[in-house]
Structure 1
Amino acid sequence: MVNVFSNDLKGDQSTITDDELVKQIVETNNAILFGKLYDRYSKKVYSKCYSFSKDKNEAKDLTQDIFIKLFTKLDTYKAQSKFSTWLYSFTYNFLVNYKNQDTSKKLKERWERLNKHDYHLASEDDIDEDDLFELRASKLEKALELLEPADKALLLLKYQDNVSVKDIQVILNIAESAVKMRLKRARIKVMKAYDKIKD
């Protein structure tokens, strides 16, 4: 993957923490330092982009677009959660908005709108997490593609990236109970989608 940011760093920057690196980048607006951040996370961001687009070239373009936008928005990181968690949220927001270019709604607004319909799920039995892990990967991947991007993003954050409910709560700035309800809704939806897919 071509790095649009120079990574010709002077001195040993490999031991600096993400938070320290972000702070230096924000203070200096230094593209060389940003290149170090790019080197640390571009493969993970590319992986997320590919999981959404299923096209290598598009995933590369999306990765570059995300990092270009990140460079201008890095000052919004407030260290309330780990930088990697915040970056995954930033990436998913970007990808959900990319997938929904027909609307200007942000991921949070989309989830809030979807959340109004959660009362339908209150009476439904939850899906056990262990049941999700036993599903066939290929079929589960197809089921995920049938979900609203916001639901897919939430499931990937929780189960692929192992982001805790507490961290998701911070990212979305909502109550823990709301995070759990959204996860429940997403699990039910993915299981229903999975059941509809023929082997």
Structure 2
Amino acid sequence: MEKQQSKIEVNQLSEEDFILIVDEYKKKIINLCYSYTRDYYEAEDLSQEVFVSLYKNLKKFRFESSISTYIYKITLSKCMDYGRKSKVKKFFVNIFNLQEKSHEDSVLEKNYVRESIDKLPEKYKTPIYLYFYIGLNQKEIASVMGISEKNVEGRIYRAKKKLKIEFQKEEDDYEKKYRFNR
């Protein structure tokens, strides 16, 4: 009976009620996000994403746990997504050993990365774009492509491996060119 009442209450949640939930959990969520991002502004942005996601998905809440557990689950998911995206950025930055570069150099490198991705076979290129550029998770990519999550994971791994080899080759060619021209 209590679950039944809770469902009705959540489905009839007013804006004021939602604001009370936000007020109650806002600081805790920002702190949790900060523990992943180490950047207060990023943590605030992530916390906003958490509450937007909560608002959109509240009707899907199954009451198998408390609302706080549900909020923290969403928060951890958003933090993990953030972590993956920042790892991708670091991956590409580390490959090129980027220092402070001009905007023009940055644009050239981004174009080179996209061109390298475009050279990949379609079965690797699609999950890379969906994951790193569109921001879909592996489950969503699996659904879009009609393959298993493990298959998506494997394709992303192999694509990153191929890109790393390509980038290393380009870096070696660059070093050879400028070492012999001195």
Shorter-chain TM band: 0.3 to 0.5
Q: Which has the higher helix share?
A: 2
Q: So what's the TM-score if we normalise by structure 1?
A: 0.40
Instruction: Give the greater-gyration-radius structure (CA).
Output: 2
Q: So what's the TM-score if we normalise by structure 2?
A: 0.43
